[in-house]
C-alpha cells in the first residue's frame, strides 16, 4: 500500500471490499499479515463503518 488505504490517501470502494475480505478471513482462521490488521483497524475507526456494523448487527437479530 502507498497510503493509509488500499488505493492511497483516499478511502474508497476497494477499502470496503478489503474490509469484508479481512473480516471473513479472520472468522475462518486465516493468518493475515499485521498490515491487514492495521488496515482493518483504520477502516473500523471510521464513523460510517461503525454505523454500518451497528445496522448489520440489528438486521441479524
Per-residue pLDDT of the chain (61 residues; tens, 9 = 90+): 678 999 999 999 999 999 999 999 999 999 999 999 999 999 999 999 999 989 989 998 8
| CA distances from residue 38 to 3, 4, 19, 47, 57 in whole angstroms, order as listed | 12, 9, 11, 17, 23
Identify the pLDDT of residue 1.
Answer: 64
pTM score over 0.85: no
Tell me whether residue 2 is in a domain: no
**Residue 30 belongs to domain spanning:** 13-59
Tell me whether residue 5 is in a domain: no
Structural domain total, the chain: 1
Tell me whether residue 20 is in a domain: yes
Tell me whether residue 4 is in a domain: no
Residue with grid cell 479472520, as numbered in its chain = 26
Write the CB contacts of 37 (distance below 8 Å, at least 6 apart in sequence).
22
Amino acid at each position: 500500500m502507498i497510503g493509509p488505504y488500499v488505493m492511497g490517501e483516499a478511502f474508497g470502494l476497494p477499502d470496503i471490499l478489503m474490509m469484508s475480505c479481512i473480516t471473513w478471513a479472520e472468522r475462518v482462521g486465516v493468518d493475515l499479515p499485521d498490515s491487514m490488521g492495521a488496515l482493518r483497524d483504520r477502516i473500523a475507526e471510521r464513523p460510517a463503518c461503525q454505523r454500518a456494523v451497528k445496522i448489520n448487527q440489528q438486521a441479524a437479530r
